[in-house]
């Protein structure tokens, strides 16, 4: 309906004016398609659950946040139990976010079926979701409608796999070394001191 009205309105314009108007409309449509889909919030990480889930302090309450667009091996799943690489992914996530102020950027769907907030998590200018994929400790897992960074994640995963980084490389020989210490996850999911 709108297209018919648009075509009728521009038919009375000259060729140059029609082209300029079409270019303007195309620019607006493309800008809207690539624009950020949801709001963003600042929060403090209070617990790292595993490689793709954290708890944050947000507006006086604690929220469980699931990273969008990627998945890491499980560390304490009721049926999958601990999967190879889960401790390593959790340790990397701890190093990236533990105790830090983060920016949570939402996409189209704000919560999953478990009530977790779905977000792209940033520490400064670094998107943690993308960094875990780039380092090879997460695999792309796109669940529409949250697809804003899908092509970026696919590219980073391909590069990590080709370079043999993280889980794409040789099997780990033991728990990861983090900041000069070797340890498995503590109760909070992060290496204990």
Q: Catalytic residue, from 105, 116, 131, 134: name it.
A: 116
19 is known as an active-site residue: no
| Cα separation, 66 vs 113, whole angstroms | 11
Give the ranges where the chain is alpha helix by DSSP (H): 2-11, 15-34, 86-97, 128-134, 150-163
Q: Catalytic residue, from 63, 66, 105, 134: name it.
A: 66
Partners of residue 152 on adjacent β-strands: none
Q: Judge contact between 73 and 86, C-beta under 8 A.
A: yes
**Whether the bond into 145 is cis, omega within 30 of 0:** yes
103 is known as an active-site residue: no
Q: Catalytic residue, from 63, 74, 88, 131: name it.
A: 74
| Cα separation, 94 vs 89, whole angstroms | 9
The upper half-sphere exposure of residue 23, i.e. CA atoms within 13 Å in the direction of its Cβ, equals 6
Among 53, 69, 135, residue whose Cα is nearest residue 106: 69
74 is known as an active-site residue: yes
Tokens of 45: 């990480």
Write out the catalytic residue numbers: 66, 74, 116
């Amino acid at each position: 309906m709108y297209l018919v009205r648009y075509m009728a309105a521009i038919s009375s314009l000259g060729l140059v004016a029609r082209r300029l108007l079409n270019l303007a409309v195309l620019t607006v449509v493309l800008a809207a398609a690539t624009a950020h889909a949801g709001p963003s919030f600042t929060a403090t990480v209070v617990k790292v659950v595993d490689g793709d889930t954290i708890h944050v302090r947000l507006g006086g309450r604690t929220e469980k946040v699931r990273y969008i667009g990627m998945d890491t091996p499980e560390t304490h799943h009721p049926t999958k139990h601990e999967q190879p690489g889960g401790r390593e992914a959790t340790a990397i996530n701890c190093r990236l976010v533990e105790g830090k102020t983060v920016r949570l950027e939402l996409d189209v769907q704000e919560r999953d079926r478990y009530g977790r907030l779905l977000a792209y998590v940033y520490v400064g200018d670094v998107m943690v979701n993308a960094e875990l994929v780039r380092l090879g400790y997460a695999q792309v897992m796109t669940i529409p409608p949250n697809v804003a960074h899908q092509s970026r994640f696919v590219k980073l995963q391909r590069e990590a796999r080709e370079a043999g980084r993280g889980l794409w490389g040789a099997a780990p020989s033991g728990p990861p070394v983090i900041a000069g210490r070797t340890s498995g996850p503590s109760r909070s999911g992060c290496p204990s001191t």
